[in-house]
Amino acid sequence: MRYLLLLLLASPLAAQQRKPVDYVLATAATSLLAADWSQTHVIGRDPCYCEGNLLLGPHPSSGRINTYFSIAVAMNLAAFALPERPRRIWYGAVLLTEAAFVLTNLRHAR
């Protein structure tokens, strides 16, 4: 049964040919998520700064941060199974949003 499920899930993925740009977009988006994850841990521990993400709250716990970003990274990696156009739109949106968040966090850290 396990192998049948694996075969059913792997077949649609194998049918889609990925180009190098897809791997670059996925890697860049995931890297920015990891950078934001790290910055959010610093913000969560520092009483002088407040987190701007309404889902996390102003001073989130490490557990809440880890849960939120684990789900975000899993969704980001799952987007690799999308067809080409939606996948690239997804990664483009994640790149733009996360770049804005990371830069905002850097600006407030100074």
Residue-wise pLDDT tens digits, 4-60: 445 445 555 555 688 999 999 999 999 999 999 999 999 888 888 888 888 998 889
Answer yes or no: is 53 within a domain: yes
DSSP secondary structure string, the chain? -HHHHHHHHHHHHHHSPP-HHHHHHHHHHHHHHHHHHHHHHHHHH-TT-----TTT-SS--HHHHHHHHHHHHHHHHHGGGS-HHHHHHHHHHHHHHHHHHHHHHHHHH-
Mean pLDDT of 51-79: 92
Answer yes or no: is 86 within a domain: yes
Give the per-residue pLDDT at 12. Answer: 56
Range of the domain at 51: 18-109
Answer yes or no: is 9 within a domain: no
Instruction: For the full predicted model, state whether its pTM sits above 0.75.
Output: yes
Answer yes or no: is 11 within a domain: no
The number of distinct structural domains making up the chain is 1
Give the per-residue pLDDT at 4. Answer: 47
